[in-house]
Structure 1
């Protein structure tokens, strides 16, 4: 067995397993700069294109003077829009390619642009040009979001080939390192590739399993920067709290400056409070502020308005599908087409949740006989090959069609389009104190739990996702989750 030595210690190469990834074609900083330039070019072309198209529509029958005015206003809007895209940091290297933050910033920049333009139009009494706003705002925003999504698909494809990834070394206690590495492997998308780990302490396993790869591990924090150089990493992620304290982290940052290696801190606090955290330096002391979560107010009124509009439209459009599914379910097995069950809503309020029936009518009575085969986690009962599921039931469960009647619950106000999973009261009775925070807002027809794996998630991860949503939701985030839900329905994961 071959031993590899460096200034940071030693690690053992495991026969038959690749522990070090092949060098990537360019550093994380280099490819991100090129990617940002590509985004800038695309944004510019789309904004100018949509405004030119809108101006052409508005000036078909216009006089020369009015055409010049419209062109001037269109050019000003284009310049303002691009400025807002820059001010809102929509191409921030820390956001592009992963998460919902990039999309949210594009939406906010677009809304800010047209809010400012609307004020100018009103103040200068430019009533004839209001249609420019009405046409350009929604179409331009949709085009920008679509282009970002297409770029992200390209980036994801490149990441699967091992390209365009920021290579990182994770540093910390073994448990924290394993957790951060697992989360990055599952969810970072086109962002990070873990190429090594440094454990604080004396533990020195040969390699760390991350995703479908193994990466080298060394022990001891004395010479982290040497291991970074050995692996060719672009960044170091400090996972959790180190026993050596903040002074070590400060000194590590200084030592990494020579190689332009980024230092990233992964705090347990960000698991739930991430978007509500802001830094405020006071006399050289960086204070981390955590804003209070909002469980009422204007944002919730907007959420309710969206719930009503979408659920009412969905019930009308899906009426033929409801009829077809009802007939198929009744013909497939004895019993009605719908299943109803009491669930816990906001603040543990009782409501009746509706679903298409996917099991035999005696399913509740047979549950006790199957509990010893439970494959779920925590207080959940799940069985991958549940004998109570009917033939049609298996199909509608796979594509989440059994959940469609919950649009009625959303319209009634029992549920929301997006939120935590609606729990049974038997589950609520087994909740720990912190888990009860899931009940602070309405349960959802879909949510982070559905787009992140559903039944394949363990209990702790399901709770973490729900608590994160409860305290950090936004309307823009809801729209992104709904879009991701549509994609998951087409390519089901964890639905059984």
Structure 2
């Protein structure tokens, strides 16, 4: 089965061919080659940008020599800073916001180091390099990292460039892990084998179609023989601290990375910290942050970002308004009361996509509701107008909510703003969605929108509330453009 999944398609790029050249053992295959691609990309971007912009900054032969020398020093400083910030570590390449965070941190540290060196020597001014060259290098380097990641993700969706995973734990937790890896192939995990307490699966010798090859006490031997890249240890009463420690010792030198799934499955990112106390490794879970400087920065970004977007797309908004007015009788805009942060209600603004008085006939369609949980949704809602169906497919009807963001009742990124009758039915844990401002976009919009189940939508919103960060906001905004253009899950 692994050979079939790794079989290369007839058409693919040079990079994909390079990544999937067969090697043995598996841990020495595409992964180090992809890392070399990333390092080479950063090296070329830093060198060409530094030397190129150094030539533009310089005036005259002597200045050219001086600036080319500064360009060379900039390259060395930036690359050393990236290495020190572990921007090329295999565990962060190809997924998540941490890769971009480390890249930005490395570029910032390089700029600081170069600026301090210039101040200390006083020989030449490094300001153009600190405030122009290195920021330009960071932006271009970020773009190339993103392109490389898209190549990698495309390969993973085709069943290539995946890390072979051995899952070990209870059948229920392993089943959940396998489903998640199948739903998110871009992460790069493929569960190839399973070990359980008794060596048996849910149906015969399989769990979700993956073979059970042994018991938990045989795990290390199977990992060494099979060449697995990841050993995913899921929850089971078998795992005691002593057994986990022994497993970690047994896996040393095998090339496999041991990953332990804690019981706090939905808490991650900046809230988790590992520290040693009283000679024991402890996983610290800090409280979610709903105030402070980061929230102030988020508020400023919301106001500035919404103002810029409104200015840029104002002609497009006017065109959409005219289309709504011409298509059907009724107001151009649709207003509705929604529930915001801390349960405070506000009026949301949208383009009208339904016939006039659509809310009054909603009760007639209750029997054909296709929405998940407390939501009301229909794939072919008879109340939707012709123009409205187009606006909904590409989420154009949501754009007037930029005015809600500008006035402070919403944020660019956050959970979906619920109706009062929906929030009244919330269980206590679901009400945690109201701890932050609702957003114009969010995790559920970039993960399938209306195609998601109610439980999955709630899980994504709670994950955002618990693990929010500025880097996550930037990632969601970027992914929103792709989700909207594709129209996936919108109706």
* Structure 1 Cα separation of the partners of residues 270 and 172 of structure 2: 25
* Partner residue of 2:111 out of 106, 109, 114: 114
Shift of 1:89: 1.3
Verify the 8 A CA contact 2:157 2:185 in the aligned structure 1. Answer: no
Match of 1:415 in 2: 410
Match of 1:468 in 2: 463
Match of 1:76 in 2: 73
Match of 2:137 in 1: 140
* Structure 1 Cα separation of the partners of residues 262 and 458 of structure 2: 18
Question: What does residue range 176-191 of structure 1 map to in structure 2 within 5 Å?
Answer: 176-189=173-186, 191=188
Bigger shift: residues 481-490 or 149-158: 149-158
Shift of 1:128: 5.0
* Structure 1 Cα separation of the partners of residues 365 and 238 of structure 2: 46
Question: What does residue range 50-69 of structure 1 map to in structure 2 within 5 Å?
Answer: 50-59=49-58, 61-62=59-60, 64=62, 66-69=63-66
* Structure 2 Cα separation of the partners of residues 440 and 479 of structure 1: 20
Instruction: State whether structure 2 residue 485 is matched by structure 1 residue 490.
Output: yes
What SS class does the counterpart of residue 223 from structure 1 fall into? Answer: helix
What SS class does the counterpart of residue 194 from structure 1 fall into? Answer: strand
Task: Summarize the Cα distance change of 1:425–1:231 in structure 2 as closer, same or farther, 3 Å threshold.
Answer: farther
Bigger shift: residues 201-210 or 269-278: 201-210
* Structure 2 Cα separation of the partners of residues 378 and 389 of structure 1: 22
* Structure 2 Cα separation of the partners of residues 289 and 200 of structure 1: 29
Shift of 1:316: 1.4
Bigger shift: residues 414-423 or 133-142: 133-142
* Partner residue of 2:476 out of 478, 481, 487: 481
Verify the 8 A CA contact 1:204 1:217 in the aligned structure 2. Answer: no
* Structure 2 Cα separation of the partners of residues 171 and 209 of structure 1: 11
Q: Provide the aligned length of Structure 1 versus Structure 2.
A: 474
Shift of 1:402: 0.8
Shift of 1:352: 0.8
Task: Summarize the Cα distance change of 1:350–1:122 in structure 2 as closer, same or farther, 3 Å threshold.
Answer: farther
| TM-score when normalising by structure 1 | 0.88
Structure 2 residue runs of 5 or longer lacking an equivalent are 8-21
Instruction: State whether structure 2 residue 127 is matched by structure 1 residue 130.
Output: yes
Instruction: State whether structure 2 residue 291 is matched by structure 1 residue 296.
Output: yes
Shift of 1:430: 1.5
* Structure 2 Cα separation of the partners of residues 466 and 437 of structure 1: 9
Match of 2:10 in 1: none
Verify the 8 A CA contact 1:155 1:190 in the aligned structure 2. Answer: no
Bigger shift: residues 71-80 or 112-121: 112-121
1:370-425 Cα distance to aligned partner (Å, 9 max, x none): 22322222222222222221111111111111110011111111111111111112
What SS class does the counterpart of residue 274 from structure 2 fall into? Answer: strand
Match of 2:14 in 1: none
* Partner residue of 1:354 out of 343, 349, 355: 349
* Structure 1 Cα separation of the partners of residues 176 and 481 of structure 2: 29
Structure 1 residue runs of 5 or longer lacking an equivalent are 1-17
Task: Summarize the Cα distance change of 1:400–1:179 in structure 2 as closer, same or farther, 3 Å threshold.
Answer: same
* Structure 1 Cα separation of the partners of residues 224 and 334 of structure 2: 60
* Structure 2 Cα separation of the partners of residues 126 and 460 of structure 1: 62
Instruction: State whether structure 2 residue 311 is matched by structure 1 residue 312.
Output: no
1:310-346 Cα distance to aligned partner (Å, 9 max, x none): 2111111211111111111122221111111111111
Task: Summarize the Cα distance change of 1:268–1:274 in structure 2 as closer, same or farther, 3 Å threshold.
Answer: farther
1:172-228 Cα distance to aligned partner (Å, 9 max, x none): 222211111111222241521121223345544247676xxx422357423234554
What SS class does the counterpart of residue 203 from structure 2 fall into? Answer: coil
* Partner residue of 2:440 out of 438, 445, 451: 445
Instruction: State whether structure 2 residue 328 is matched by structure 1 residue 330.
Output: no
Verify the 8 A CA contact 1:204 1:219 in the aligned structure 2. Answer: no
Match of 1:167 in 2: 164
| TM-score when normalising by structure 2 | 0.89
Match of 1:36 in 2: 35
**What is the RMSD computed on CA atoms of the aligned residues?**
2.5
Shift of 1:230: 6.8
Verify the 8 A CA contact 2:157 2:186 in the aligned structure 1. Answer: no
Which structure exhibits the higher relative contact order, with contacts defined as CA atoms closer than 8 Å and separated by 6 or more residues?
Answer: 1
Task: Summarize the Cα distance change of 1:220–1:315 in structure 2 as closer, same or farther, 3 Å threshold.
Answer: same
Question: What does residue range 360-379 of structure 1 map to in structure 2 within 5 Å?
Answer: 360-379=355-374
* Structure 2 Cα separation of the partners of residues 299 and 142 of structure 1: 22
What SS class does the counterpart of residue 251 from structure 2 fall into? Answer: helix
1:416-456 Cα distance to aligned partner (Å, 9 max, x none): 11111111121211122222221121111111111011111
* Structure 2 Cα separation of the partners of residues 369 and 140 of structure 1: 58
Question: What does residue range 16-27 of structure 1 map to in structure 2 within 5 Å?
Answer: 25-26=22-23, 27=26
* Structure 2 Cα separation of the partners of residues 306 and 73 of structure 1: 34
* Partner residue of 1:88 out of 73, 80, 85: 85
Verify the 8 A CA contact 1:19 1:216 in the aligned structure 2. Answer: no
* Partner residue of 1:101 out of 94, 98, 101: 98
Bigger shift: residues 467-476 or 144-153: 467-476
Task: Summarize the Cα distance change of 1:203–1:215 in structure 2 as closer, same or farther, 3 Å threshold.
Answer: closer
* Structure 1 Cα separation of the partners of residues 195 and 241 of structure 2: 17
* Structure 2 Cα separation of the partners of residues 365 and 154 of structure 1: 49
Match of 1:9 in 2: none
Task: Summarize the Cα distance change of 1:338–1:206 in structure 2 as closer, same or farther, 3 Å threshold.
Answer: farther
Task: Summarize the Cα distance change of 1:241–1:206 in structure 2 as closer, same or farther, 3 Å threshold.
Answer: closer
* Structure 2 Cα separation of the partners of residues 187 and 237 of structure 1: 16
